[in-house]
Amino acid sequence: MRRLWMAALSEEALYEADLPGCCRRSAKSAVDDSFECPACGAVWQVSLPVEPEECAFTERASKGERKGAA
């Protein structure tokens, strides 16, 4: 699975393969979910997993079954 890294000080999000070369080397050896690149000083952290929200126009009738709101 490819990790998605988020820049700590901006909204930039990059996969490990798309990080700048100096940051990519640091990401490969990162033990925690974040690291600071010693070459350029950028701070990166792993993005949180996101789950899609439920549709606002449907409701659950029973387990696994959906019913329209209208």
Number of domains in the chain: 1
Within a domain: residue 9? yes
CA distance 36 to 44: 6
Within a domain: residue 63? no
Helix (H) / strand (E) containing 36: strand 34-36
Within a domain: residue 52? no
Distance of CA 48 to the CA centre of its chain: 5
Within a domain: residue 12? yes
Q: What share of the chain is helix, strand, coil (3-state, %, to 5)?
A: 15, 35, 50
- Least Cα distance to 45 among 17, 22, 16, 21 occurs for 16
- Tens-digit pLDDT profile for residues 9-34: 888 999 999 999 999 999 988 888 89
Within a domain: residue 26? yes
Within a domain: residue 54? no
Question: Which parts of 1-70 fold into alpha helices (H)?
Answer: 21-28
Under the banding of pLDDT at 50, 70 and 90, the label for residue 7 is very high
Residue 67 clears pLDDT 70, i.e. is over it = no
Amino acid (one-letter) located at 58: T
Identify the domain containing residue 4 by its residue range.
1-47
